[in-house]
Amino acid sequence: MLKNIELPRKVIVGEGAIHCLKEICNELNLKNPLIFSGNFTKKFADIICGEI
């Protein structure tokens, strides 16, 4: 199911989606799944995906 998913290098998502992205990266066994930056008191945060 998750075999063909390609995540962009940098995406901006709502805070509710961060956990989902972590789970997807765990399923795909990404080496360096997610690096977070930004202000988490706001609704959005930058997520930079690691190498697949």
**pLDDT for the residue 7:** 55
| DSSP three-state, residue 41 | coil
pTM given for the model: 0.29
Read off the pLDDT band of 23 (50, 70, 90).
Answer: confident
Read off the pLDDT band of 44 (50, 70, 90).
Answer: very low
**pLDDT for the residue 12:** 56
Q: Mean pLDDT, to the nearest integer, of 22-41?
A: 57
Q: Which two tokens stand for residue 49?
A: 């995906």
- 10-17 contact pairs (CB < 8 A, 24+): 10/46, 10/47, 10/48, 10/49, 11/47, 11/49, 12/44, 12/45, 12/46, 12/47, 13/44, 13/45, 13/47, 14/43, 14/44, 15/40, 15/43, 15/44, 15/45
pLDDT one-digit tens code per residue, 7-19: 555 555 565 666 6
